[in-house]
Copies of this chain bind each other. A is one copy, B any other.
Amino acid sequence: MVGGMQIRTPACRPGRPRSAAADTAILAATREALVELGWSKLTLGDVATRAGVAKTTLYRRWSGKNELVVDAVAELFGELELPDRGSLAADIEGVVLQFAAILARPEAKSGLMAAIAESTRDDALRERIRASIVDPQKGLVLEGRARAQARGELPPETDPAEAARTVDLIFDVVAGAVVHRTLVSAEPADEEWVRGFTRVLLQGLSSASVPPGPYGPAAASGTSGTSGTSGTSGTSAASGTSGD
């Protein structure tokens, strides 16, 4: 899962086994370097020095910066969980907040996005990202969806192909929105934003300011009756279309 999973079993190869401590030290050093230097100024020689290993050791396990950073960042997203919070809206809000918290960390920001950028020209890298980061997240979407259907919050899906497409769509919408909010808009995906996002996701824009209707029983938002929304401070809304 980390660098190579081919060894580990003692009865596999005769020689000296690879140091597992070196793996964790290298990955931790990579995250540390990402925080301090960012992607572009991160050098493998520096990571090796931080980890206390030789540069050659690093190159024996990872073929380059891309793969190393992906593995280092993937460990961050392994923390994601989806506890049952009682309603679909609460489940979404919970996992989105977790995702946003991870994405707010500097090592995740620069590392993940740069790796994705590189993956547009490197199929093997894209596959590695998908297997170690994306697919586990998609599993959470499946889990939450199944729970919601069991609760009756979502209509059960009859066509399996349609269901697969829907899951992919939801995943792109959720992950994409949080990533865009955090990295491009560079504003925090805090509780208030997550509440608004969840409302749009579940009920759509058409009923944006209309109180919840068909499916939203008490699930509007787990912790609050947000109906009042604290907006005041009227700066300008639709003033100049072309900003700047």
Partner-B contacts on A (CB < 8 A)? 38-40, 106, 109-110, 113-114, 116-121, 126, 129-131, 134-136, 138-139, 142-143, 145-146, 150, 153-155, 157, 159-173, 175-181, 183-187, 193, 196-197, 200-210, 214-216, 220-221, 225-238, 241-244
How many subunits of this chain does the assembly comprise? 2
Q: Which of B175, B234, B244 contacts A160 (CB 8 A)?
A: B234
Q: What is the CB-to-nearest-CB distance from A84 to chain B, in angstroms, rounded to a whole number?
A: 13
Determine the residue in chain B with the shortest Cβ distance to A131.
B244
Known: A109-B120, A215-B206. A241 touches B179 (CB 8 A): no
Main secondary structure of the interface of A (DSSP, over half): helix
Q: Tell whether, in the assembled complex, residue B208 and residue A116 are in contact, meaning their CB atoms are under 8 Å apart.
A: no
Q: Which of B181, B216, B221, B241 contacts A143 (CB 8 A)?
A: B241
Q: Tell whether, in the assembled complex, residue B214 and residue A183 are in contact, meaning their CB atoms are under 8 Å apart.
A: no
Q: Tell whether, in the assembled complex, residue B155 and residue A210 are in contact, meaning their CB atoms are under 8 Å apart.
A: yes
Complex-state Cα separation, A235 to B154, whole angstroms: 14
Known: A206-B153, A234-B159, A238-B146. A180 touches B175 (CB 8 A): yes
Q: Tell whether, in the assembled complex, residue A235 and residue B193 are in contact, meaning their CB atoms are under 8 Å apart.
A: no
Q: Tell whether, in the assembled complex, residue A160 and residue B237 are in contact, meaning their CB atoms are under 8 Å apart.
A: yes
Q: Which of B131, B162, B221 contacts A220 (CB 8 A)?
A: B162
A-B contact pairs, 27 of them (CB 8 A): A129-B184, A130-B184, A130-B186, A138-B241, A138-B243, A139-B237, A139-B241, A142-B234, A154-B205, A154-B206, A154-B208, A161-B221, A161-B225, A162-B220, A164-B232, A164-B237, A166-B196, A168-B185, A169-B200, A170-B200, A172-B181, A173-B173, A173-B176, A176-B178, A179-B180, A202-B206, A203-B204
Q: Tell whether, in the assembled complex, residue B175 and residue A184 are in contact, meaning their CB atoms are under 8 Å apart.
A: yes
